[in-house]
């Protein structure tokens, strides 16, 4: 059987640097020869990290399988844990990529690995790559990101908890580099006051960090409160209210916007799944925002360990 042209590659990466950013965040820098082929098409571009390292000298993906199909084909009792992580910075000229981890002790495989791993430790990643003789757009839709604002966007709403903060700050960095950055309202929920990481600023940015240790807030509660109180821009305040299309509890919340190029408003909202479900209903059913202008991503569930 002919080998599939691979847009996604599975390969080993090595930890080359660790940097503590705050009580809850640690930046890990990974290196490998193939990192120069990684692609970051948007500030929320993600890769899959596999914990712990797959045993053996390497990974041989069968010709008729994609890397993720290969991973899923492994027997459950030996299949490693896998998590999605945002590419924070990519430096292809020196074969390095930065990934920011949220730390919450040894409760989950990713957090435990980030805390315990020593320089030189190796894991595997599944990531979108472009090789000299094969561009991703030649054979498949470019994916592994959501952020894609319409060209006409004048006002943007960002909402993120700590798991989505690396992507959200990357979005702010991209917007701040524009000749005329749009008006942005941002709510970022984090565990501690010390986790309020620095971001670019400009006159049109209204950013509120929402640390949970100031009070007795549950995860996602402050984002839900913000969704109920945020000022709806005048340019969309008369949007027709949406029908009730609740997402079942057992399903992940993952809704991509489908905004027209001339849409004036756009939202990117990511965090804990149950909070995303509530915020989605609040903004569409109660506040009247058109769901085609809104991205909702359930990055994690309260019952899961990361």
| Paired tokens of 134 | 């094969």
Question: Looking at residue 219, what is its pLDDT?
Answer: 92
Distance, CA of 94 to CA of 13 (rounded, Å):
13
Domain residue spans of the chain: 8-138, 155-300
Domain 155-300: CATH architecture, name and number where available: 3-Layer(aba) Sandwich (3.40)
Contact yes or no for 186/180 (Cβ under 8 A): no
Question: Looking at residue 246, what is its pLDDT?
Answer: 64
Question: Looking at residue 292, what is its pLDDT?
Answer: 92
pTM of the model: 0.89
Contacts of 282 (CB under 8 A, 6+ apart): 224, 227, 228
Could you read off the pLDDT tens digit of each residue along the chain, which spans 306 residues? 333 344 788 899 999 999 999 999 999 999 999 999 998 999 999 999 998 754 444 566 777 877 788 888 888 887 888 899 999 999 999 999 999 999 987 778 899 999 999 999 999 999 998 877 655 444 445 679 999 999 989 999 999 999 999 999 999 999 999 999 999 999 999 999 999 999 999 999 999 999 999 888 899 999 999 999 999 887 674 455 444 566 666 667 889 999 999 999 999 999 999 999 999 999 999 998 999 999 999 999 876 656
Distance, CA of 60 to CA of 215 (rounded, Å):
51
CATH tag for 8-138 (out of 2.40.30.10, 1.10.8.60, 3.10.290.10, 2.102.10.10)? 2.40.30.10
Phi, psi of 196 (to 5 degrees): -80, 85
* Backbone region of residue 297 per phi and psi (left: phi > 0; alpha: psi in -120 to 50; beta: other values): beta
Question: Looking at residue 55, what is its pLDDT?
Answer: 43
Question: Looking at residue 1, what is its pLDDT?
Answer: 35
């Amino acid at each position: 059987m002919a080998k599939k042209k691979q847009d996604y590659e599975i390969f080993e990466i090595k930890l080359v640097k660790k940097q503590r950013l705050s009580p809850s965040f640690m930046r890990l820098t990974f290196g490998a020869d193939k990192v120069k082929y990684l692609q970051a098409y948007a500030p929320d571009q993600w890769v899959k990290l596999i914990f712990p390292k797959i045993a053996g000298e390497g990974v041989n993906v069968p010709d008729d399988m994609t890397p993720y199909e290969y991973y899923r084909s492994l027997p459950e009792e030996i299949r490693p844990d896998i998590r999605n992580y945002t590419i924070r910075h990519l430096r292809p000229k020196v074969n390095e990529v930065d990934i920011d981890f949220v730390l919450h002790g040894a409760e989950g495989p990713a957090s435990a690995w980030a805390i315990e791993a020593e320089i030189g430790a190796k894991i595997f990643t599944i990531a979108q790559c472009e090789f000299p003789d094969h561009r991703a757009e030649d054979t498949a839709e470019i994916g592994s990101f959501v952020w894609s604002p319409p060209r006409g966007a004048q006002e943007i709403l960002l909402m993120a908890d700590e798991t989505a903060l690396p992507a959200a700050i990357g979005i702010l960095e991209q917007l701040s580099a524009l000749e005329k950055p749009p008006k942005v309202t941002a709510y970022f929920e984090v565990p501690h006051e010390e986790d309020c990481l620095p971001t670019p600023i400009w006159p049109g940015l209204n950013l509120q960090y929402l640390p949970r240790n100031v009070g007795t807030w549950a995860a996602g509660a402050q984002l839900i409160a913000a969704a109920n109180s945020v000022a709806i821009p005048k340019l969309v305040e008369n949007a027709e209210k949406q029908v009730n299309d609740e997402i079942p509890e057992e399903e992940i919340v993952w809704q991509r916007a489908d905004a027209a190029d001339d849409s004036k408003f756009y939202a990117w909202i990511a965090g804990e799944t149950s909070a995303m479900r509530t915020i989605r209903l609040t903004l569409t059913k109660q506040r009247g925002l058109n769901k085609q202008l809104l991205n909702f991503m359930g990055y994690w569930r309260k019952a899961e360990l990361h």
